[in-house]
Structure 1
Amino acid sequence: MVELIVLACLIAKPSHCETFNIPFQALNVSQCLWQSQAQAAEWSASHPEWLIRKLNCSLPPA
């Protein structure tokens, strides 16, 4: 499993940003990067108070 790493900031307070690690059912990091836009759009729709600033994919720590 790969993690989609989302850096998002609160719309009401743009100086407050957090990183969210979202488990992602991709076979590898390349596949995660390929599909990250759709997954991020889904996450954004369910978290309307946040604005995504950056996306990345990574293997979770062992």
Structure 2
Amino acid sequence: MIELAFIACLSAAPDACEQRSLYYSDISPMTCVMGAQPELAKWADAHPRYRITRWSCRARALSERDA
């Protein structure tokens, strides 16, 4: 499983940040890196009060998803 992990901060309160993740089971880490920008843009469009400040792709075990 691949995790696209990112930090999203409220635009009105830049110190109010949360770690968020999108999970994929059918892509490679390189595919995640190459496709992250459009996926994050979609997420940002759906959550206009937030601004994404940092992101990364990493392999995760299924058991780590809800940890």
Based on CA coordinates, which of the two structures has the bigger radius of gyration?
2
- Corresponding residue of 1:35: 35
Cα 1:30/1:36, change in 2 over 3 Å? same
Question: TM-score when scaled to structure 2?
Answer: 0.81
Cα 1:41/1:58, change in 2 over 3 Å? same
Alpha-carbon displacement from aligned partner over 1:18-57 (angstroms, at most 9, x marks no partner)? 1101113552111100100000000000011110001111
Q: Do the aligned residues in 2 keep the contact of 1:26 with 1:32 (CA within 8 Å)? A: no
Question: TM-score when scaled to structure 1?
Answer: 0.87
Gaps of 5+ in 1: none
- Corresponding residue of 2:52: 52
Structural RMSD (CA):
1.4
Q: Which moved more, 1:17-26 or 1:48-57?
A: 17-26
Gaps of 5+ in 2: none
Aligned residues: 62
